[in-house]
A and B are shown apart, each in its own frame.
Chain A
């Protein structure tokens, strides 16, 4: 037989938003939500984009190969590039059930030019172009954001030359231009060329220079208590002194990634030798998602806000009443149409004027031609008259000559017959 039981009394209390907190009387099952979310992401795959900035030959490609355990297509770049260029390559990687679409962007020719004033510009332009592309997609009417291949730069590894002294001015200028656009993680490249004590001083110098120049590098996040401790420790080790290598050397009975020198073997994954493992931990294992999130919620939002404000959009008008985007748009559109109309009218007027001018010109030319024609005609007539006169005179001459000729012939004939008669008379 069934026994009737009362349902337990729940504790109800209001939280600060006025939304009540309820406790559940049994297992409902929405604790599977994080799993549902993760499963969806596994199906979709992930996207991660790293930008490597550093001088030619500093080891950017080698470090990427080492980090991701693959041989990416690498080109040895020349030192004679006239301008800084960026080369982006995308790869599909997989580890366990996670598919990652990784894009590695390398600077080409960075630091090689005599005049490095504009060196940072291609990098800034590249980062902005990716933001622009995303913004365009976001603003489309028919958009597909979840299918969109996100090319925005999530992490920027800035490779510092292992001089052991301080940052170069190119480094400071470049990082300053980038710190509000991308998460910067500075690394000291080819760290096996610096001794431990020099390294320690070098790191301190670099960090203090960054601080005094107001460069905001990426801080590993401290808000989640699961990872706050390790992130705090790692923040203190920045910048990471890294060594990259895909060559394997036998150490003991294991093959490890290392660089072999006559005086010893530098082991990449040995934390006493360099900070490679720390970099991998921070960049990939612990904070990859945060890097993506910061890019989207901070850097991209800043870009978007600036871009839209540049174009004249506001959220409130001069009286601080909310202005709908459509109102702003309509106002702008009217402005634009008025401007367009004005320009059209101007052009039309200009055209009409030109036609008039040309017409006048042509009329003038016509008149000129006409008067010249008249003149020629007159000249012609005059000449003709003159010629006629001459002809008449000639004719007169001719006729009078003819007459004289006839008279002379007659005389001749008469004289001949007269002479002939005389001769006849003699003979008789």
Chain B
């Protein structure tokens, strides 16, 4: 037990006679991270035509979207929601990252869109499942490949009125399993006043429906965190415009959209909120987004999954084939307490051994 914190030393320019070197661990960590590289998996969801691919390309300043990878394929709207992943290795100032962009063509494009969120939910849960399977192996990989969806960007069409039932349904179900960052797509069709009122309406509707989008209030770590995140929550959802074309404006080359009435500068915060989205997603909160996925969403899935399979096994006699739990992973009501023998297999065995 510890009573108080002991200061061991400080590297000062004057004297380092009392320097231990504990703070060198920061540099060691940084080196290790640079060597290992990072992974980031982002999903885009929204009706076709809302500029999802363009926004991804704008965010990552290269052709990362699925469409850019297969430019010659005829774009047709699929009959059901499809999930298509594309991965790229990118590098910036020595930092290497494997970026995976997951597209969901067909979402919201059918005549009957009931349950079109289900294939997406299934995909997300499947990634949790494969991570879990690897994690419980006896011989497991040093670094478990992480295909879990860290962030889901949801594109709201710029109607200017309110959320549609499809938007509410999707976000209500998915916000429980993944970090959702809602954005107002093609925001250049809204005036600033329309934009603000639209945002306010959306925020109220999210609140009314109990939908927690990223950054979720309950995961703020401390007062400083809360302060920073409150500011972000006041701006949600970001009104964005995407572009992969550069123009010369005032002697500078900037990304923008040229129209007859002016050029919309994508990275100009007076024009749209793209820069805020980019900063949130990439420059300041990327690690936190991954942490929430890892330590909260994944753990929630794991708890549910381990309890579920125990219930199944206690109710099925051994000569029945092993039943797979419901694939759509619809969050069911959990039993208030775990079954008396319902603990993780290995934990149970260990306790018996004790």
Contacts and interface: CB of A to CB of B under 8 A. Distances in A.
Contacts of A141: 302-303, 306-307, 338, 343-344, 347
Contacts of B60: 24, 28
Interface residues of A, number: 98
A37 B29 contact: yes
Contact of B286 (A33, A288, A328): A33
B192 interface: no
A2 B258 contact: yes
Contacts of B6: 70, 91-94
Contacts of A146: 295
B72 interface: no
A330 B5 CA distance: 49
Interface in A26-58: 26-38, 40-43, 46
A310 B6 CA distance: 43
B191 to A, nearest CB: 22
Contact of B88 (A19, A255, A325): A19
Interface in A299-345: 301, 304-305, 307-309, 311-315, 324-334, 336
A136 B244 contact: no
Given A33-B287, A141-B338, A24 B90 contact: yes
Given A30-B95, A96-B10, A311-B349, A326 B322 contact: yes
Interface string B275-288: 00011001111111
A127 interface: no
Contacts of B142: 297, 301
Contact of A30 (B5, B92, B137, B253): B92
Contacts of B245: 4-5, 7
B62 A22 contact: yes
B22 interface: yes
B18 to A, nearest CB: 5
Contacts of B231: none
Contacts of A37: 29-30, 33, 287
Nearest to B222: A43
A94 B8 contact: yes
B124 interface: no
B220 interface: no
Contact of B138 (A136, A140, A305): A305
Given A19-B89, A94-B7, A95-B20, A5 B33 contact: no
B254 to A, nearest CB: 10
Given A33-B287, A38-B30, A69-B18, A142 B303 contact: yes
A2 B349 contact: no
28 contacts: A20-B69, A21-B89, A22-B64, A22-B90, A28-B59, A28-B92, A30-B286, A32-B282, A34-B34, A37-B30, A38-B33, A90-B1, A93-B7, A95-B8, A95-B22, A96-B10, A140-B344, A141-B303, A142-B303, A224-B35, A227-B31, A288-B24, A297-B142, A315-B139, A324-B133, A325-B136, A329-B348, A336-B352
Given A90-B2, A143-B299, 15 more contacts: A7-B246, A21-B90, A31-B95, A33-B287, A36-B286, A37-B33, A92-B4, A95-B10, A99-B5, A139-B346, A141-B338, A280-B20, A288-B24, A329-B348, A334-B318
Interface of B: 1-2, 4-11, 17-26, 28-35, 38, 40, 59-64, 69, 87-95, 97-98, 133, 136-140, 142, 221-222, 244-249, 253, 258, 263, 278-279, 282-288, 291, 295, 299, 302-303, 306-307, 309, 313, 318, 322, 338, 341, 343-350, 352-353
